Amino acid sequence: MEDYAPPFTITNKILTYVSSISEKIGRITATSSLESKPHLRRNNRIKSIHSSLKIEANSLSLGQVRDVIGGKTVLGKQTEIQEVKNAYEAYERLSEIDPYSIKDLKTFHGIMTRYLVNESGDFRHGEEGVFNGDQYIFMAPPAHLVPELMSDLFNWMNKSRNTIHPLILASVFHYEFVFIHPFSDGNGRMARLWHTAILAKWKPIFEYIPIESQIEKFQTEYYDAIAQCHRAGSSTDFIEFMLSQIDKILDDIPAQINEENHLLSDYVQKLLSVMEYDIPYTSNALMKKLDLKSKETFRKNYLHPAIKLDLIRMTIPDKPRSRSQKYIKL
């Protein structure tokens, strides 16, 4: 019996997009490092989370998603707030993902759907359809076939990872995953997370490129491409669609980097340079590191601008002037 291989054709259009995307990624990484752009990285990650959840009908605004991630109190449906918290944890741990591991897929589905789905972290046992909102697209394969179909897909990925370009492989996986619909809920979120994880293993910069926001802008076309591939029995149209969207969003990154350069003052950059991630600091500790004497200067030029840009969060956000207040670099 031959090993399973998803049906698709590598067209001239696909090759042109692969070349264009590779060239743009090369230019971006050669001229600047997103690692040194914390505000841009954070903003793009929040955009990714907001867009991916919005596609799944989460009604929280971008500002509300930002506030949930920042630890602020947000009035909204608890399930939607939990979706944000779960997605943030999953995306923050993106670098830990082995996208070629079914075990990791289930682990991260457990993170993405924690407290929300009974079968969190497990393949579905019931039947599912693929919908764009209320619009039915197609019926997913029967539940009893899911383990074998997913095993075939991951076997193909592992055998093809060195022969098929990651840009193509990620798109094929995305479509096949949506078609199989292996989980009872969270399939769209996981498909988009895994697409990013595959690309980030190729070029780490993709951790901070909000492909999800581009999909959300062209959601109708996204589902149209999925439906067309289902009718054709091939993922070629979906590969072309995804590559076109990635190619487009990369045009925005240089402008975002330039904007960040103007946005961050020397004071804020200096403050961030003396802080380690996830360590709470008092005002006095930070002033000592910066060799500052004036609290007013520290607050006005360093602390408040960094908080406003969501680069630092307060441990007690509801009581900004608390004596127990500390600050954590995001």
Q: What is the pLDDT of residues 65-106, one digit of tens each?
A: 999 998 888 999 999 999 999 999 999 999 999 999 999 999
Class of domain 265-329: mainly alpha
- Indicate if the pLDDT at residue 63 is higher than 80: yes
pTM comes to 0.81
Question: What pLDDT does 78 receive?
Answer: 97
Bridge-based pairing of strands 327-329 and 312-314 is: antiparallel
Alpha-carbon distance of 298 to 231, in angstroms, equals 62
Class of domain 12-259: mainly alpha
pLDDT top residue among 259 and 158? 158
pLDDT digits (tens, 9 = 90+) for 225-251: 999 999 999 999 999 999 999 999 999
What is the rounded radius of gyration, in angstroms, for the C-alpha atoms of the chain?
22
Residue intervals in the chain for CATH 1.10.10: 265-329
Residue intervals in the chain for CATH 1.10.3290.10: 12-259
By percentage, how much of the chain surpasses pLDDT 70? 97
pLDDT digits (tens, 9 = 90+) for 297-328: 999 999 998 888 778 889 998 888 899 999 99
Output the average pLDDT for the chain.
Answer: 92
Q: Pick the closest to residue 223 from 142, 136, 109, 149 (CA basis).
A: 136
- Indicate if the pLDDT at residue 130 is higher than 90: no
Alpha-carbon distance of 178 to 130, in angstroms, equals 8
Query: Residue 276's pLDDT band (boundaries 50, 70, 90)?
Result: confident
Task: Provide mean pLDDT across the span 285-299.
Answer: 94
The three-class DSSP label of residue 319 is coil
Question: What pLDDT does 35 receive?
Answer: 63
Question: What pLDDT does 185 receive?
Answer: 94
- Indicate if the pLDDT at residue 1 is higher than 60: no
The three-class DSSP label of residue 277 is strand
- Indicate if the pLDDT at residue 122 is higher than 90: yes
Burial bucket for residue 162 (CB in 10 Å: 0-12, 13-18, 19+): exposed
